[in-house]
Every structure is written in C-alpha cells, then in structure tokens.
C-alpha cells in the first residue's frame, strides 16, 4: 500500500531561514524518482534546484510560484510506492493528515511511514539537511497531551485537532471582519509557532508578543505577514474617512520587498555597520607601469591576464605581509582569529543585485588561474547559477568600483571579514614623474578595515605596499 510522505523545505546551508519558490518542476499527479529536482527556489544567496528524497507520485504541492516559505515548511507530499494518483478519498485523507502539526498525529504517521519497510525504505543519494541517505528514520512516539489541561478530566479522551482548513478560515475571518488583527490569547508557557528568526526580530522591534498571535501559515505557523498585520491593526482603526479620489495619501509610494539577494545584502550591510568599528584610508597611485606590464604579458601569447587578477595577486602579497587584515573577530570568545588561507571575494553586479563570489585559495593561484576563476564566477553570477558555496567563506574582499566610472568610495566591510580594498577607475591625470609634470594613468585605492583587528599603522602599511606594487610591479618579484 502506498504511503504518503511529506517533504519539507530543507536547510540549504549557511544559516538560510527561508526561500522563495521560483518555479515548480513537477505537477500534482507526476511520478518522481529519488533525487529528482522538484522545485527551483531562490535563497538569499543563489538559485537552487531542490531534489526530493522520495520516489513516488506527487499528491500535493504547498505554495504557489513567488511564495516565500520558511525552512521546515511543507513543500510537497509524495505517495511512495504508488504508480498513479491515489483516489479522491485517499488524496483528501492525505491532504488533511500529512501537513498536520509536527506535534500532532500527522507528523507521527509521517514518521511512521518513513520508518516502515517496503518502498519507503528507498534512500536518497543527495544529502539535504534533515534528510538522510541510508537507513529509514525511526518511528517517533506521539507526544502525550497534558491530562490536566483544559481538555477535560484525565480519563476523558482529548478532542480531535481542528483541520487546517478551519484554522485558515478563522484567520481569514479575523483579518477581514471587524476585529483589528489575528490576535488571540495564548498560553503563558510552551513553544511559539515561529521558525524564521526574521519574524522574531520584527516582532521584538515592534514590541509585539508573539504568544498573542495566531499564525496563518501551515499548522498555525506565524509568518511575517501576521506580524505586519498585527502591527498595522491599531493604525487601521484610527484611519479617517477616505480622501477624495484625486488626493494622494501621505507617504504613498511603491513598496519593494526586501527579500532574496536584496534582503540578504541589506541584512549583511546593516550588521556590518552595527557591529564593526570601521575606518577608511586611501591613496592615489600611478598605475602606468602596471598597465604596461599587463600589456606585455598579454602580448606574449597565452590566456589574457585581467587587471583584476593582477590586483588580486598584489592583495595576496600584501596580506602575507599584514596578516592582521586576513582575520575575523570572535566577540563571544573575545579573540581575533587570524586565518591561514586567503579566500578572496570580489564584488560583482548582476541583474539579481550585488553578489560577492569567493575565489578559494587565492594565495596559491597564479595570475592566469585567478583570471580564469574570476571569469567563471562572474559568468555564473550573471546566469544566476552561483551556489551557496561560491558565495560564502571569504576572508578578504576586493571591490573594483572603477567599472562604474567613479574614482573613490568608502566601501562597507563584508561581515564577518576584517577589511576590503576598493579600486577606482584608472584615468589619465597630471602627475609628477621623475621630477617632471606628465600625464600618467592614476588610480585611487581605498582600504576600509576593522579597527578592532589592527591600528592605523598596519592599515596604512598594507595600503602603501599595494600602491607601491601598482606603481612598480617589479616590487612583487621579491615575494615570488
């Protein structure tokens, strides 16, 4: 007999708490194989195809395209062992029982199905957080309800849980009726139905007690929209009569959700500004000799060397002399952690927004290898195929904002790194060269650093060495 298993949105790594459904790859009634991609989601870091660890027939999908789901929310249900869509009665029963609360009968039966023998024992080849690849999960014991609770005397059976549809209907009634918000009394103790830390943070900032909210998500899960409705409810009650049709309300304008890549960038930059006491120093440098050296390299044949690759080699050499800037701060232990490897991030502007791909082990790469890796990661960023591994783990960032036609900037450190080097455009300017006024190729370099890891002398020494290498590339020969 087919067993209906629920596949929940897995933890896609690096602390991601939610993802947006971009495109469903299967429909209800489709037969899927183990590890077959079933949905394409966009996280704060990348576009990811999510494989299903079960094989069978898709009986239900949760969420339309464009819907944002928290990690752990149901994605779909699969009838394992079935070869066609179950009957209407079976499908209805599965839709009501499987997405039930993780503390209720639905989760218990789902776990039992996962632990049963037969077709359900087929393992997944892909490792997803929360989904193994070998032996089936053990059957869970059902959580016993408190006999002294409001359900009645100890000998009386506990009432059956209300179906999910009733919860949704009740929520809709609260939000559309006279009541200002879906706020209901809640027990003083026990867990709160919240998964996303962003929802908790928003409620804390607004001074809202999450125990008084009834969630509109699956199994009463409290979503961000529930918090926003509860916060806006008092203001809704005090709104005066509608203004004339031609009038424009104060503060009216387009609202763009901060989610996906844009939301991740906003969170990370705000955290950097909040936690890191940064400082910036800058210097102008004559890049004429560096440009001539690059032209000579490319004229010699072989793969072309990019300017960014030469600047990366200079950064790696400078970090070897000043390792304080290749570090991060562990405030919990009150320690500065100096990192032995240089994983070099570089800022890249794409259609999806600003991303910072990471070149692994940049200190072991040649200029040719760096050029090839920069090209590969840039193309993947523009195509939206960067993986979370491509976007995490950086120890230092190189930001070439000169491609936007600007000379200088005070970059924000890419948390939790300790420094970022900014490079402006290279333009002809009057410059004193060998005692004579001449037109030279000049670039402005800026270094923003975490003042906790070093003082201005170290930062100034790093930037001065970078400028010396830009002006006289032969200086690099001492470290090769």
Beta-carbon contacts of 467 under 8 Å, excluding residues fewer than 6 positions away, are: 283, 285, 445
Contacts 24+ apart (CB under 8 A), 133-140: 133/53, 137/111, 138/111, 139/111, 139/112, 139/115, 140/107, 140/108, 140/111, 140/112
Q: What is the pLDDT of residues 77-116, one digit of tens each?
A: 998 876 666 554 444 444 444 444 444 444 333 434 344 3
Q: Which residues pair with 277 in a beta bridge?
A: none
What does the block give as tokens for 208?
């809202």
User: Which of the 8 DSSP states describes residue 213?
Assistant: B
Reference 413, options 392, 403, 402, 399; nearest CA is: 399
Mind telling me the catalytic residues?
451
Q: Report how far apart, in Å, the C-alpha atoms of 273 and of each of 336, 400, 414 are.
A: 19, 21, 10
pLDDT at 437: 95
Q: What is the pLDDT of residues 140-167, one digit of tens each?
A: 444 444 444 444 444 444 444 444 443 3
Distance in angstroms (rounded) separating the CA atoms of residues 229 and 182:
8
Reference 19, options 42, 45, 39; nearest CA is: 42
Distance in angstroms (rounded) separating the CA atoms of residues 76 and 56:
12
pLDDT at 266: 85
> ∠ CA 153-154-156 to the nearest 5 degrees?
65
pLDDT at 251: 59
Distance in angstroms (rounded) separating the CA atoms of residues 329 and 337:
6
Cβ atoms of residues 45 and 393 within 8 Å: no
pLDDT at 327: 97
Distance in angstroms (rounded) separating the CA atoms of residues 478 and 480:
6
Distance in angstroms (rounded) separating the CA atoms of residues 444 and 406:
10
pLDDT at 430: 96
Cβ atoms of residues 346 and 356 within 8 Å: yes
Q: Sign of the C-alpha dihedral, residues 15, 110, 37, 23?
A: negative
Q: Could you tell me what percentage of the chain is helix, strand and coil, using 3-state DSSP and rounding each to the nearest 5?
A: 35, 20, 45
For 286-343, give the DSSP string: E-HHHHHHHHHHHHTSSSPPPHHHHHHHHHHHHHHH-GGGSEEEETTTTEEEE-SS--
Beta-carbon contacts of 33 under 8 Å, excluding residues fewer than 6 positions away, are: 55
> ∠ CA 433-463-381 to the nearest 5 degrees?
110
CA 115 vs. chain centroid, Å, equals 32
To the nearest 10°, report the CA torsion of 427, 430, 431, 433: 110
Q: Report how far apart, in Å, the C-alpha atoms of 302 and of each of 367, 368, 370, 375, 397 are.
A: 12, 9, 14, 16, 28
> ∠ CA 139-143-145 to the nearest 5 degrees?
155
Beta-carbon contacts of 362 under 8 Å, excluding residues fewer than 6 positions away, are: 312, 315, 316, 342, 343, 344, 370
Q: Write down the pTM of the prediction.
A: 0.55
pLDDT at 288: 96
Q: Sign of the C-alpha dihedral, residues 43, 49, 55, 56?
A: positive
Q: Report how far apart, in Å, the C-alpha atoms of 111 and of each of 12, 134, 141, 389 are.
A: 22, 15, 9, 31
Backbone dihedral region for residue 67 (phi beyond 0: left; psi -120 to 50: alpha; all else: beta): beta
Residues lower than pLDDT 50 in the chain: 88-122, 124-127, 129-130, 132-189, 235-240, 247-248
What is the per-residue burial (b if ≥16 Cβ within 10 Å, else e) of 323-340? ebbbbbbeeeeeeeeeee
pLDDT at 106: 41
> ∠ CA 413-265-466 to the nearest 5 degrees?
30
């Amino acid at each position: 007999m087919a067993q209906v298993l629920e596949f929940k949105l897995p933890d896609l790594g690096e602390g991601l708490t939610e993802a947006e459904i971009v495109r469903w790859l299967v429909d209800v009634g489709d037969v899927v194989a183990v590890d077959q991609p079933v949905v394409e989601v966009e996280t704060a870091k990348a576009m990811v195809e999510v494989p299903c660890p079960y094989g069978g027939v898709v009986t239900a999908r949760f969420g339309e395209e464009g819907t944002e789901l928290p990690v752990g929310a149901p994605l779909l249900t699969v009838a394992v062992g079935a070869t066609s869509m179950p009957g209407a009665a079976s499908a209805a029963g599965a839709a009501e029982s499987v997405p039930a609360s993780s503390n209720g009968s639905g989760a218990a039966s789902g776990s039992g199905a996962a632990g049963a023998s037969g077709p359900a024992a087929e393992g997944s080849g892909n490792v997803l957080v929360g989904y193994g690849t070998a032996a089936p999960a053990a059957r869970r014991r059902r959580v016993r309800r408190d006999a002294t609770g409001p359900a009645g005397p100890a000998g009386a059976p506990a009432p059956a849980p209300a179906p999910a549809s009733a919860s949704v209907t009740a929520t809709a009634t609260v939000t559309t009726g006279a009541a200002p918000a879906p706020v209901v009394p809640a027990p003083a103790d026990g867990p709160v139905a919240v998964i996303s830390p962003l929802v908790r943070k928003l409620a804390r900032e607004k001074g809202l007690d999450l125990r008084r909210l009834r969630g509109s998500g699956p199994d009463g899960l409290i979503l961000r929209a529930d918090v926003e409705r509860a916060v806006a409810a008092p203001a809704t009650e005090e709104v005066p009569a509608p203004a004339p049709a031609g009038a424009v309300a104060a503060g009216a304008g387009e609202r763009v959700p901060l989610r996906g890549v844009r939301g991740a960038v906003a969170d990370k930059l705000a955290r950097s500004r909040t936690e890191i006491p940064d400082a910036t120093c800058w210097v102008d440098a004559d890049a004429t000799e560096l440009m001539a050296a690059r032209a000579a390299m490319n004229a010699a044949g072989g793969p072309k060397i990019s300017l960014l690759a030469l600047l990366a080699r200079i950064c790696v050499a400078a970090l070897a002399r000043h390792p304080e800037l290749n570090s991060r701060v562990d405030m919990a232990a009150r320690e500065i952690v100096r990192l032995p490897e240089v994983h070099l991030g570089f800022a890249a502007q794409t259609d999806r927004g600003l991303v910072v791909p990471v070149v692994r082990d940049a200190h072991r790469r040649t200029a040719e290898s760096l050029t090839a890796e920069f090209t590969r990661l840039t193309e993947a960023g523009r195509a939206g195929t960067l993986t979370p591994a491509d976007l995490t783990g950086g120890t230092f960032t190189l930001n070439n904002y000169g491609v936007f036609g600007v000379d200088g900037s005070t970059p924000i450190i890419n948390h939790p790194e300790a420094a970022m080097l900014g490079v402006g455009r290279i333009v002809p300017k009057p410059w004193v060269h060998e005692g004579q006024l001449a037109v030279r190729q000049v670039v402005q370099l800026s270094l923003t650093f975490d003042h906790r890891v070093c003082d201005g002398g170290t930062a100034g020494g790093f930037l001065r060495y970078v400028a010396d290498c830009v002006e006289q590339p032969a200086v690099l020969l001492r470290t090769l």
